[in-house]
Amino acid sequence: MQRTVTCSIDLGLTGPVRLIYSVAVAQGLPLASETISITIDGASVEPMEIVDAHGTRLHSVDANGSQASLSYEAVVDGIDVEPLVTDTDDIVYLRPSRYCESDSLAPTAASEFAGLSGLGLLQAVISWVNEQLTYVAGSSRPTDGAVRTLLGRQGVCRDFAHLSIALLRALNVPSRLAAVYAPGLSPMEFHAVAEALVEGQWWVVDATQLAPRQSLLRVATGRDAADTAFLTNFGAPTQLNRLEVTAVVDDFAHDDTSKLTQLR
């Protein structure tokens, strides 16, 4: 399987700022080619690459100008190994987090999924979240978490993922969020899915069902969207003027949602 992805970002700057981009495919994927270019007011700058947990690759630059632009392209030829399971996964990814208030949703989870466990529980949560929420672009605020999403009954991909994660954690299933490139997604954008640790393996949980899971390409992994944003800035305010994402795959497979798969 060959997947080709691109990302272009234009920012307006108001003063000195540290920009941290998370747009590169995760460490360990079989890269056939990759380029990343960052300019400040048209002058090329060399970013510092920092590898975060789970192979997330961050590219950091210190900027002082009026405009910053990023261009990224990668071709991944093949799939990665199975997602690594570490000794801390069933501790870190069972805790409530900023956007996944599993403690607040524990009564809901216990009531809706009583008696279920393992892979059957994953399928039940995917179906339930898909039925409870409506995908509406622009319907949620950047500060909305799983509780507000459930009350509002609508959201975007990260909201579907946060609710899935919170419910699973409330049922003692370690769960986390992955930011991905998603061939087949429409409209094209960065996509967010959940992963759940069941029977010693990490499985994709995507209640939106908007893109084939087999072709997803990992970018960043963390507790929730606070850990996986495509851009973080420290310093003067910045304005997002343009974001364009593309993702294509050479073998577009039908996604059998009755079967579980891994993010590779």
Other Cβ atoms closer than 10 A to 6: 17
Name residue, tokens 């507790």.
223
| 170 close to 227: Cβ distance less than 8 angstroms | no
- Which alpha helices (DSSP H) does the chain contain, by range? 89-92, 106-112, 118-132, 146-152, 157-170
pLDDT tens-digit map of 31-74: 999 999 999 999 999 999 999 878 999 999 999 999 999 999 99
**CA–CA distance, 264 with 139 (Å, rounded to integer):** 30
Average pLDDT over residues 12-27: 97
In the chain, what are the domains? 2-79+232-246 (2.60.40.2250), 89-227 (3.10.620.30)
Please tell me the predicted confidence (pLDDT) of residue 252: 73
Residue 257: the pLDDT is 78
User: Whole-number mean pLDDT of the chain?
Assistant: 95
What angle do helix axes 157-170 and 118-132 make, rounded to 10 degrees?
A: 140
Strand 2-13 vs strand 67-77: parallel, antiparallel, or unpaired?
antiparallel
Q: Give tens-digit pLDDT for 173-190.
A: 999 999 999 999 988 999
Nearest to 200 by CA among 29, 83, 115: 83
As a dihedral over the C-alpha atoms of residue 213, residue 218, residue 221, residue 225, rounded to 10 degrees, the angle is -70
90-103 mean pLDDT: 97
Q: What is the pLDDT of residue 39?
A: 98
Please give the model's pTM, rounded to 2 decimal places. 0.95
How far is the CA of 247 from the CAs of 7, 11, 23, 72, 101, in angstroms? 9, 22, 12, 12, 32
What's the pLDDT at 218?
97
Contact by Cβ (8 Å): 231, 22: yes
Q: Is the per-residue pLDDT at 254 higher than 80?
A: no
